[in-house]
Amino acid sequence: MEYIREIRSKAEMKRNFSAKEMQVLGILLFIVLLGIVVSSVSRKSVDTSTSNEQERQSVVFPIDINRATAEELILLPGIGPVKADAIVRERERVGAFSRISDILRVTGIGEKTLEGIADFITLGESDAFSDSVVETLFDLNRVTTEELETIPGIGPVKAASIVEFRDLNGSFCSVEQLLEVTGIGEATLKNIRSYFFVDGVECNHSSGSRININTADRNELTKLPGVGSVIASAIVDHRELYGPFVDLEDLLSVKGIGEKTLEGMKHMVEF
C-alpha cells in the first residue's frame, strides 16, 4: 500500500507542473547543456592553440620544403592542413623541388602565399641539391627579370621588385643591399646570395668629383647614390620644365627624391 501511495504522490506532483512551467524547465535544461558543450569546445580550442604554439617554437625556421613533414608545413603562415598535404603529395609525385618558386605548382598556393612564407622556407641540403653547384653567377646590376626568375627563391614578384629598386635607386653597391628590396628578408638573402656578384661599383661616395645637377645628362646622374634611370629622367624633365635647380632643397620637388635620397647625394652634387 505504501508503494502505491508513493506512485500516486509522484503522479500528482507531475500534474501540478503547468505546460508553461514545463516549457521553462526545458529551456533552462537546454541552456545548461549548451554551456557544457561550449565550455568543452573552448577547452579543446585552447589546448589546440597551445599545442600549435609549442610546436611552432620547437621548429627551427627556415624549414626545408624538400624534407619537412605535413605537421611542420602547417606551422608556416597561410599554410593549413590541406595545403601542407598538397605540398607533400606534389613532392612525392614529381620529386624534390628544384627551386622555391616550384611550390607555385601546388594547388592552392599562389604568389601571395609564397610571398608570405618565403622567409620561412629553404631548399636546405636536400638530395636534389646536395651535389649541385651554382654554375651561373649574375651581375646584380645587369641581371634581367627573366634571369632573376630562374633563381630558387625568386618568383615574378621579387624579380620585379629587384629591378624596380635598381631603376629607382641606382646600382647596387653590394649583394647585402638586397635587404632593402621589398619582400626580401634575411632568410631569402641567405638562399640567393651565392647567385650574385657586384662588380665595378664605387660605394664610397664621399670623395671624388662632383656632378653638376644642372648640366649632367641622364647617364651621369645615375652615378649619384640612390639615383637610377627613372629618377635621373625625372631630374632632367624637371630641369627642362622649371629651369635650373638653385639648391639642394629644390631637388625635393622631383618625383622620387625624398630626404633619404637627398642625404645620400648631397656631397656629390654642385649647382
Residue 129 lies inside a defined structural domain of this protein:
no
User: What is the pLDDT at residue 82?
Assistant: 94
User: What is the pLDDT at residue 111?
Assistant: 85
75: CATH: 1.10.150.280
User: What is the pLDDT at residue 126?
Assistant: 42
Residue appearing with cell numbers 631603376: 167
Task: Give every CB contact of residue 270 below 8 A, 6+ residues apart in sequence.
Answer: 210, 211, 212, 213
Residue spans of the chain under pLDDT 70: 1-22, 24-25, 37-59, 124-135, 200-208
189: CATH: 1.10.150.320
User: What is the pLDDT at residue 66?
Assistant: 87
| Rounded alpha-carbon distances, angstroms, from residue 24 to 11, 20, 28, 36, 157 | 20, 6, 6, 19, 62
Q: Tell me, what amino acid is at 247?
A: D
173: number of Cβ within 10 Å: 16
What is the domain range of residue 255? Answer: 211-270
- Domains identified in the chain, total number: 4
Q: Which of 73, 97, 122 is the last residue of a domain?
A: 122
* Per-residue pLDDT tens digits for 98-115: 778 888 889 899 888 888
User: What is the pLDDT at residue 38?
Assistant: 62
User: What is the pLDDT at residue 206?
Assistant: 47
